[in-house]
Each structure stands twice: as C-alpha cells, then as structure tokens.
Chain A
C-alpha cells in the first residue's frame, strides 16, 4: 500500500468461522426513525396508491456515519390539488432526513437542513453531482422532481429548476447516476411510469379484474411516461439528451428501476431499466454519446420462457463470484423473479430454476432487492422486500397482501430462503447500509403504509470483511463505475461502485466484501472510470478503507 490516507472508520473485529444463522432486529422505533408511511388510502383504488416509495443511505455531513433519507407518498386529495395546478404547501412527514448520531440513534433534521416535498414522493437517491465533496439529494415524485444541492454547511438548497430538470408534472420512479460519457461528472437517468396527467382522479376509479379479484386498473392500458437521460454539463446544470443519446423510450414503457452498470465488460457504463408489464431495456453504451438498445439480444428483455414480466426492482451484483455482474428483477406474484446470470460478456441467462429461485419466488410480489453478504461468509445473499398491491390478495389463495422481507441464503449458487422472524407487511422500498459501521450490513425497509423497519444485522458468527469508500479525482467524485477486485486466500471477489437498482432506493455507496475465513487480503485492484489502475497491497480487514484516486 502506498502513501495512503486509509481512514479507520470501524475495526470491530468479527470472529471468523462458519456462520450460524442470520439475525436481524427491527430497531427503527428505538433508533428514532419515527415515520408513518403513506401511499393514498388503504383500499388502493388507484394505481398511484399501490407502489410505495423509497429510502437512501448517504453521509450528508461527512462524519463517517450513514444518515438515511426516507421519501414518503401522499394522499389523493393532495394529489388532486396538485394536478389542478395548485401544489399544496409541503406537509410535515413528506420527506425525512435522519442524521445518524452514532449511538444507535437518529435525529430528524429534515426541516433544519432545508428539505421539503410538496409532491407525492416516490424515489430517494443521492450523489455528489457537482463534485464538491458533499452528497446531494434527488427526490423523484408524482409531481416535479427535486434536486437538493448540499451546501456543505449542513443545509441543502433545492435547485431542480436552475439545474435544468424538467418542471412538468410527471410520475417519475427510479433514478440512477452514472458517468456515461466519462467526463468526470455524474449524469442522471430518470424512469417514467404512467402518464399521471392522463388520469382523472375526480372521476370514480375504474375497477379491473385480476384473477377474479376486483382491483385498481393499470398499468396495462394506461398511457406510459417516457424516461429521461440528463447529461451533466459540469457546471451544476443538466441537459436532456434523451433523443440525442438514442435512449428515447418511444413506447413509454412503465419504467421502475434503473441501474448504470457496465454490462458487457467494455469499460463503458450501460443503462438497464426494469419495466413493469413490458420488456426491459438494456442500453449499451456505444462510447460516442449514444446507446444501442440491446436487451433482447443480451437475454435481459424477457424471462427464461421469452415472456415479459412485471419488473419492479433490480438486484445487481456478482452472486456467483465469477467476476461478472449478474442481475435479478423482482416481479408480480404467480410469476418468478428471473435471475439473469452473465454467462459471457454481455450475454445473460435466466437461471432462476437452477438457482432455486423460480418456484420459491412465485408466491411473492417483489419490489426492492439486492445482493449483500449479510454473514460475511464470502458469498452474497439475495434480499427482497415483498408485498402485494391488492389488499384482498388473500382471496387468490396463492399469495397474500402482507409478505415477508425475504433473505435467500446463497449456498454455492443455489439460494434457499431463511426465516428471519421479521413481521410480514406490504413492503416496497428498501436499501442496505452498514449504519453502525460494524461490518454487518443492515437494511432499512419501507412498507406501503405504517412504520418502516430498520433491520439491525445482529448475526453473531460472521466471517471477516472489508469495506471500501472510493473517491474519484480525475473520475467522477463518487467513483461511479469503478471496478474493484479483492484477492486473498486464493479467492477473488468483485464489485463495482454503482448507483441505482433496488427499488426507488439507494444502497450504501461504499463497497462491502465478506471474506469468510480469509483474514489476509493480498491485494485490492481498482480500475477507476478514468481508466487509471490502482493496487492496494495487503490492506487490513474488518474495517472501512477510504481510497482516493491516484493517491495509493
């Protein structure tokens, strides 16, 4: 390791050895995360009331501890007011930023830091879009998206308009930051769901039939909302380059979750969009500022039967430790979650059956999802926040309204669900983050209504681990797109710094590697988005290491 400024954030040594089970405890209330999630009424008569919202882990005050942003929904009367041209005053509870106090407790600093949201909140995201070293916040909405610039003094200023984000009313859902043109500035892709302007909330809601069950109508047969790609101009503003970049969502598919990720191993960030009730998009980066839609020929458009699905959330990660990123999308009940293993560069195969996930996921309606090594045994588990959209789903016999937050333990590439003893609910957004810096990944999980859960990972016997916090200098400051390989004990682990995925939520921006019984890492190899390569020899384990581009 060269002249490093390795910062020890935590050195809580964990005992090595085989894991003896995952344990999580919901500590949201005692930690002070007191929020009442709202998403319309309990009857769910409109599609706007069904999809919930998300949360983001971020360290807005750079104190080395993850804070959490929770985006809340709204009510139909407020939505009607907004749609009729009079956005109501921002209510309390629409948006929460909780500062991590470091003692297992959080303090609600929303008003103090200047955050607000008068609209119906959907997605929570964060990135240092202006490269000033302070993480900024993006809130997507049914309404107008809000971009809060971090002023660096503990406050934020909303600057969506001056930054050039559209001010029209949209139903935007997931978003992702990534530097597609590799100019050192994070660009932004925002997914559109349904054209909310085409819905008449003053009229009686339509009643549609799902397997004999009456429910809200949509998204099928509703007008879709097109996605937008914004290029970061590098001066605090963005330009809509959707058409120029050839990512125009001409069919206006019902977009939910976006990931910026190099999915064909050509070192350029591509864009994957999970679409509800339609084929997914994979925009492969041509390297000249344009993309080519290639989902079908990459095996990512449809599931293993060649059918499109109701894709909601996305888990991205190398679940089989073969050095290639894999994807999983969560889908509707009575259908399976396809696990797209990257078999060769840019070519994916739905291996959900072989991986034990096909039959196992059929009862679930999944939303947020991710791969995380909860027990630090060296392989990543799959986690999914589940919950049905129809309160009467019990009558279907095949599923339920309240569903579990599921963890599927990874046993050599075959997954088996483990019972966590966590209450069932109708969950939506969720994000993993090690809020107490103990090397065990925790999870914030939001229900569509009611109180969120903060699942503190209290697994007792876990393996060794290491964490990396990357800062770009020539590359974008968040190091989005950096590729990292960890080698030790004859094994290799791979991950990338990415934004997007999950569902309306942002995971811990740091990289976390479970190492199993490997207590000595030989080297960490980083390929920065700029192309610079950096090797850290013999880094310490069981701690977070901050790495600045070019300084090791």
Chain B
C-alpha cells in the first residue's frame, strides 16, 4: 500500500498559514518546509507537531512519523487524528500489535472515521481473523459508502470466508465506485476476475482481468491470471500469446512458465509443456 493511499485528515489540531493549500496540492516538500519553519519558531506547537507526523507519514518515513506522532500525543493524548497517524505508522512498519492498540483508541476518539475501521480490518485480515475483519470492513463501508478499498477488502474477506456471492457483490460495488474515480484502482477488477476463475466462469473473468490491465497495464500477476482465464475459456492461442509476451519481458517469471506449461498440455504439445514445467521449477529456485 502506498502511503498516499491513506486519506488526508479531515480535521487536525488547526492549520498553519498556507499549509492547507499545499496539502491539497499534495506538495509535500513545500508543506514540510512550512511545518519545519513553524517548529523552529515554536518547537512545542501542537499543530506543527501534528502536521510533521502527518507529512512524514505521507512521504513514507513511518518510523520518524511514529516518533513525531508520539511527541504530539504526549501533549495532546486525546487526539483521535494523532492516534490514527501513530497507528497507521505502526501498521506500515509491520507492527500489528501497537498499531491495533492505537487504532482502537483512535476509533473511540473518532468514531466516524472510516479509515481507522479499514485499517483495523486490515490488521485482522492479515492475522486471518476473518470474522473480526469482516465486522471492521462492514463498519468502514457503512461510514464511507464510496470507499473502493473498503469494498474491495470486504470482498477479500467474504472470499476468505467462502461466502462467494457476497464477495462478488462487494467487488462489483467497488468497481461501480471506482469507475467514477479519477484515480482508478486495479484491485477490485483483478480480485473479481480471480474469483470468477475459481467459480468456473472463465469467460466473465477474462473481461474483468482485461479491465484490471487497462488500469495497470504492466502488472505481471494480472497478465498471468488473464491468460489463465483465456485458457480456461478455451481461447488457447490468445492465452499463449499473453504468456509468451510476458516471458519475453520476464524470462524468469515462474508463474508464467507454469501456466504456459498447463496451456501447452491443453494444446497437446507435451514436450514443450514439460520444458516449461522444468523452467517453472528452475525459476522458483532462490
């Protein structure tokens, strides 16, 4: 997940002159300079400390963001926004336990913040505690009915729970919202396509995977799955072309070799199939 995937805070402890516009423009460099100037003038400025942690987070400096957020929370422990930044920073650092503690506190302080629920869901999802993840993602999309990532992750959770009809519906909702966005997400198209392959609906799956590739054309995993869908739908020649093109770009792509081997089995080309099974094994070697 890119840092910029997290939504800018809805509020915060007040702003600094000119900062709001720079954040809106996502001009992190100049925004950082503004905050640093404010901190030089007033090292204990609560707004400056808060925005410092926020900007460090947005630029992927999670450890420093967590330090800054902690400093801010020492002075303002009841800030839901501060807890959120700290929790997200821990999450990005892979520290699920403290992330959960901070995000739980944040959710009590900012009960209507969908992002907090989403990341609590992500923590549970990664622990494979799917019933708890489901509850969090349901709350997240109830709080933000336009959340592509919320519906997408809700779909993933339903899928993990083997509730495939609900998973499909969640992905379709995510796609419906995503199509209205300026910045598109490839994930719900991909996930729906892969689910439909599992359900034996390869023809439908190919359409969604094709769309995932229009959003992110260079995505190897989507290209492999697109070829799987085409192959399962008996479009063997097209599937072969997709995989061979991918292998020209990435000769050691193990999955592409494996799926090409499976395709060659179908095409009754046993020796070529065996060659790609072997290349799969070689590509998998560390």
Residues of A within 8 A of B (CB): 211-212, 296-297, 299, 302, 304-306, 334, 336, 343-344, 346-350, 353-356, 358-359, 362-363, 395-399, 414
Contacts and interface: CB of A to CB of B under 8 A. Distances in A.
Contact of A297 (B127, B199, B274): B274
Contacts of A356: 200
B160 A398 contact: yes
B196 to A, nearest CB: 9
B266 interface: yes
B199 A359 contact: yes
B265 A343 contact: yes
Contacts of A336: 198
Contact of B255 (A306, A334, A395, A396): A306
Interface string B190-230: 00000101111010000000000000000000000000100
A299 B261 contact: yes
Contacts of B160: 334, 398
Contacts of B199: 353, 358-359
A270 to B, nearest CB: 16
B155 to A, nearest CB: 14
Contacts of A304: 228, 262
A353 B265 contact: no
B66 interface: no
B22 interface: no
A357 B232 CA distance: 14
Interface in B34-80: none
A346 B162 contact: no
Given A343-B266, A359-B199, A363-B162, A397 B131 contact: yes
Contacts of A350: 262
A306 B280 contact: yes
Contacts of A395: 131
Interface in B214-265: 228, 232, 254-255, 258-259, 261-262, 265
A354 B202 contact: yes
A263 to B, nearest CB: 14
A305 B256 CA distance: 10
Interface residues of B, number: 35
Contact of B200 (A296, A349, A358): A358
B142 interface: no
A396 B202 CA distance: 29
Contact of B277 (A211, A299, A353, A396): A299
Main secondary structure, interface of A, reads loop
A56 B262 CA distance: 36
Given A306-B258, A343-B266, A344-B270, A396 B198 contact: no
Given A296-B281, A299-B261, A355-B200, A344 B268 contact: yes
B270 A353 contact: no
B277 A398 contact: no
Contacts of A353: 197-200, 202, 232
Interface string B268-281: 10100110011011
Contacts of B280: 296, 306
A435 B206 CA distance: 48
Given A212-B129, A297-B274, A355-B200, 10 more contacts: A211-B128, A211-B130, A297-B278, A306-B258, A306-B284, A334-B160, A350-B262, A359-B162, A398-B161, A399-B162
A164 B189 CA distance: 60
A349 B273 CA distance: 11
A398 B255 CA distance: 27
A362 B159 CA distance: 10
A472 B129 CA distance: 56
A354 B134 contact: no
B164 interface: yes
A285 to B, nearest CB: 18
Nearest to B196: A353
Interface of B: 127-131, 134, 160-162, 164, 195, 197-200, 202, 228, 232, 254-255, 258-259, 261-262, 265-266, 268, 270, 273-274, 277-278, 280-281, 284
A348 B198 contact: no
A212 B127 contact: yes
A297 B261 CA distance: 9
Contacts of A397: 130-131, 134, 161
Nearest to B157: A397
A354 B200 contact: yes
A296 B266 contact: no
A346 B277 contact: no
Contacts of A359: 162, 164, 195, 198-200
A363 B162 CA distance: 6
Contacts of A211: 127-130
B277 A297 contact: yes
A344 B274 CA distance: 13
Contacts of A349: 262, 265-266
Query: Closest 7 A-B residue pairs measured CB to CB?
Result: A211-B128, A306-B258, A397-B131, A297-B274, A363-B162, A358-B198, A297-B277
A399 B197 CA distance: 21
Contacts of B254: 306
A363 B274 CA distance: 32
27 contacts: A211-B127, A212-B127, A212-B128, A212-B129, A296-B280, A299-B262, A299-B273, A302-B258, A305-B255, A306-B254, A306-B255, A306-B284, A343-B265, A344-B265, A347-B270, A353-B197, A353-B202, A354-B200, A354-B202, A356-B200, A359-B198, A362-B198, A396-B128, A396-B130, A397-B131, A397-B161, A398-B160
Given A212-B128, A306-B255, A343-B266, A354 B232 contact: yes
Nearest to B283: A306
Nearest to B284: A306
A347 B127 contact: no
A348 B278 contact: no
A395 B131 CA distance: 8
Nearest to B164: A359
Contacts of B273: 297, 299, 347
A334 B159 CA distance: 10
A304 B225 CA distance: 11
A397 B163 CA distance: 10
Contacts of B261: 299
A341 to B, nearest CB: 10
Nearest to B130: A397
A353 B232 CA distance: 8
Contacts of A398: 130, 160-162
B15 to A, nearest CB: 41
Contacts of B262: 299, 304, 349-350
